[in-house]
Amino acid sequence: MRKTISIIGSGFSSLSASCYLAKAGYKVSIYEKNDTVGGRARQLVKDGFTFDIGPSWYWMPDIFEKFFNDFGKSTKDYYQLDKLSPAYKIFFSDEVITIGDHMDQICKEFERIESGSSKPLRKFISQAQDHYNIAINKVVLKPGISPLELVSKETITRVDRFFKTISSEVRKKFKNPKLISTLEFPVLFLGAKPSQTPSFYSFMNFADFGLGTWHPKGGMYEIVKAMKTLAESLGVKIYTNSNVEKINISQGKVSSIKVNSKTIDSDIILSGADYHHSETLLDPNYRQYTATYWNKRTFAPSSLLFYVGFNKKLKNIEHHNLFFDTDFETHAEDIYDNPKWPKKPLFYVNFPSVTDNSMAPDGCETGFFLIPIAPGLEDTSELRQQYFDIIINRFEHLTNQDIKKHILFKESFCVNDFISEYNSYKGNAYGMANTLKQTAFLRPKLKSKKVDGLYFTGQLTVPGPGVPPSLISGKLVANLINKNEV
């Protein structure tokens, strides 16, 4: 008889795991509390405007391609992928830096800002490529069970790069503060300060400058739709509006889950919901990590987000725009060292309709505004409005146009929504940071140490935050289940 697997949640990691497990012959069902699949990557469609609620940067196209290749498919079978040119724009208080779609253009831009900087940049990116090859082909494919997984000829000869930080490496090579911020930006996706992130993680800089920034036509939700189609074609059953209330254990092994008050027998249970929340579905004696454990982890930031429909095309913008006109370090301190609402926040704005006219009605612009903030902050409608006004005023000044009077509507999303929509710990947006002390075997485990047949996946376990790591996390846990549960 085929073993049954119940998966909690329908984020990227759950969808990925479901495909591998169904292919391996398990009877797989996904239970998602919300009314649509995709987790943090859901979509908002309003009055002809299409917004990706969460992720908007499509980096590491090779990982998406490998995922679909594992099922004899290609991304091309599901969505059209375009390389963005330029990749993005960074607004500083007195200057704009444009990141092109290949190294020659980027070197030219670096030279414009700091004469002689293109040579160290090429060297830095070449080392970042070396890190990328090791990280993606070796390190991230390990299930995080033992420290020995990290020991290889490649890692031993580069061990110093786990103890130096990105921040110190970048500062050794570049003097101009704008170039320093440009090179520190990609590791923010890992959820920690560049001064806390090992220099080995410069592989994110290769992902940025070497592999480029891409856009699936129709938005990031096209990836979710593709994975759902693939999963269903492999026999996965997906149930939405299905809140998992309890994981039941019998004689040290999982027996069933309670979904909307109904008990569903399961041989194996895999949770792709936030790890902390998943453990609260167990009786306390079956939980592996204490409240103190979670409280001491470095969580990736939460975010204040606005989804705004504009009744005209805006000028001086690109698809991706970073606003680094205030101090990077001060904002990072407000997130990590002394959590509070930032005095002068950096922010990011995504206008997918600049390159993809399917995202907004004719002559209109779809705008997604994001301010990273510490998880667990007080979240009120007054604070949201206050910060909206701050960033819109700065946006108008830096892009030299009036936009307030062209707003048709705005929706917001913040700490309280991350908690109510996703059961997110302290309202974190993208999981647990990848610091040295929270990497690989030091992250919460894929397999429960206390309950047989219970597994976890997603951005709080290995390898970490981001869409590509979530796809990998699903594959890692599926491999582990296959190995353990034959």
Ligand X SMILES: Cc1cc2nc3c(=O)[nH]c(=O)nc-3n(C[C@H](O)[C@H](O)[C@H](O)COP(=O)(O)OP(=O)(O)OC[C@H]3O[C@@H](n4cnc5c(N)ncnc54)[C@H](O)[C@@H]3O)c2cc1C
Binding residues for ligand X, per CB under 6 A?
8-14, 31-34, 39-41, 54-57, 243-244, 272-273, 277, 303, 305, 370, 422-423, 429-431, 458-459, 465-467, 470
Least distance from ligand X to the Cβ atom of residue 150, Å = 22
Q: Alpha-carbon distance 216 to 199, whole Å?
A: 30
Write the single-letter amino acid at 107. C
Please count the other Cβ atoms lying within 10 Å of the Cβ belonging to residue 45. 10
Least distance from ligand X to the Cβ atom of residue 10, Å = 5
Least distance from ligand X to the Cβ atom of residue 271, Å = 8
Distances (CA, A) of 172 to 119, 129, 131, 177, 442: 13, 19, 18, 12, 29
Distances (CA, A) of 284 to 256, 274, 446: 17, 17, 19
Least distance from ligand X to the Cβ atom of residue 21, Å = 15
For 347, phi then psi, to 5°, come to -150, 170
Give exposure, 94-122, as e/b (b: 16+ Cβ within 10 Å). eeebebbbebebbbebbeebbeebbebbe
- Give the residue with the Cβ less far from ligand X, 110 or 272: 272
Q: Alpha-carbon distance 389 to 375, whole Å?
A: 21
Least distance from ligand X to the Cβ atom of residue 486, Å = 25
- Give the residue with the Cβ less far from ligand X, 11 or 198: 11
- Give the residue with the Cβ less far from ligand X, 33 or 384: 33
Q: Alpha-carbon distance 113 to 137, whole Å?
A: 34
Least distance from ligand X to the Cβ atom of residue 122, Å = 26
Q: Alpha-carbon distance 228 to 22, whole Å?
A: 13
- Give the residue with the Cβ less far from ligand X, 182 or 303: 303
Edge to edge, the sheet with strand 320-323 lists 96-99, 88-91, 320-323, 347-350, 365-373, 302-310, 407-413
- Give the residue with the Cβ less far from ligand X, 181 or 423: 423
- Give the residue with the Cβ less far from ligand X, 39 or 144: 39
Write the single-letter amino acid at 395. F
- Give the residue with the Cβ less far from ligand X, 154 or 417: 417
Least distance from ligand X to the Cβ atom of residue 457, Å = 7
